[in-house]
């Protein structure tokens, strides 16, 4: 493709060479001028300020000058602590007011097992005279406990057996069974009151009822600690469990 001048596009001939040469010379002149101006400028240095001080001797009357603040603070006398006045004793005719006695803090029942055992012993002593005799007809209990001779009725430790029976009665929950169903469980109470051994001695033949009897003993553990006067490490009880009427 040719223009009206007769030259092809992209073929400039000597015009490109002259343009490149002119651009090179212009850049050389520009950078030379910049370097010249930078070289001609005076260097700048930052000089910190300084002060001239002249030392002189103290005047002859320096001893009469007033003391400085630091000397005054060093020479200041220490503060005098006054002794506290002792309170005057009151006249013997007037009675001194005494503070009201503080009320002792409440003690949880399970914090001291001996308190619970003493209370249970007292309840047994109060409840025994009110029990009806066999001649007048006694209501059959759902939990009947068989105890060693040391814990039988009328003995020194009868209150403990009553406390064990009462706790098992509160936890005796069983399914509906025919009237006359009965099961017996044997268990051992350690000195600390914890049940160590539970055995089904006479099963009722109803699996759910027997399991409920074992569970009533296990849930009742721990019982109160054995009495201090009881010299054995453990005691064995057996319980007859009947349906509640």
**What does the pLDDT look like over 39-65, one tens digit per residue?**
776 666 667 777 787 777 777 766 666
Is residue 127 pLDDT above 70, yes or no?
no
Domain membership of residue 47 (yes or no) is no
Query: Per residue in 89-118, pLDDT tens?
Result: 555 555 555 655 556 555 454 545 544 555
Q: Where are the alpha helices (DSSP H) in the chain?
A: 14-40, 69-75, 113-127, 158-170, 207-220
Percent of the chain with pLDDT over 70: 61
| Residue with tokens 């000195």, as numbered in its chain | 191
Task: Tell me whether residue 216 is in a domain.
Answer: yes
Q: Are the beta carbons of 123 and 157 closer than 8 angstroms?
A: no
pTM (whole model) above 0.85:
no
How many domains are there within the chain?
A: 1
CATH of the domain at 163: 3.30.1150
Is residue 94 assigned to a domain? Answer: no
> How far are the Cα atoms of 8, 12, 45, 94 from residue 4, in angstroms, in the given order?
10, 14, 66, 140
Question: Domain for residue 119, yes or no?
Answer: yes
Establish if 58 belongs to a structural domain. Answer: no
Query: Which residue range forms the structural domain that includes residue 230?
Result: 113-128+148-241
121 confidence band (pLDDT: 50, 70, 90)? low
For position 48, what pLDDT does the model report?
A: 78
């Amino acid at each position: 493709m040719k223009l009206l001048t007769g030259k092809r596009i992209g073929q400039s001939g000597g015009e490109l060479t002259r343009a490149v040469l002119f651009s090179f010379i212009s850049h050389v002149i520009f950078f030379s001028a910049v370097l010249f101006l930078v070289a001609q400028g005076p260097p700048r240095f930052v000089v910190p300020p300084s002060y001239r001080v002249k030392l002189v001797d103290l005047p002859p009357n320096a001893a009469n000058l007033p003391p400085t603040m630091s000397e005054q603070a060093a020479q200041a006398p220490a503060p005098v602590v006054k002794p506290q006045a002792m309170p005057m004793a009151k006249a013997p005719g007037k009675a001194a007011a005494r503070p009201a006695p503080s009320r002792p803090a409440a003690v949880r029942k399970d914090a001291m097992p001996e308190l619970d055992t003493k209370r249970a012993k007292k309840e047994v002593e109060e409840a025994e005279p009110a029990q009806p005799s066999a001649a007048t007809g006694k209501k059959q209990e759902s939990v009947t406990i068989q105890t060693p001779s040391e814990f039988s009725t009328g003995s020194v430790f009868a209150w403990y057996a009553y406390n064990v029976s009462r706790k098992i009665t509160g936890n005796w929950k069983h399914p509906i069974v025919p009237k006359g169903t009965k099961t017996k469980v044997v268990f051992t109470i350690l000195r600390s009151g914890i049940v160590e051994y539970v055995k089904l001695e006479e099963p009722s033949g109803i699996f759910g009822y027997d399991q409920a009897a074992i569970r009533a003993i296990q849930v009742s553990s721990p019982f109160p600690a054995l009495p201090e006067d009881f010299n054995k490490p453990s005691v064995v009880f057996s319980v007859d469990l009947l349906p509640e009427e």
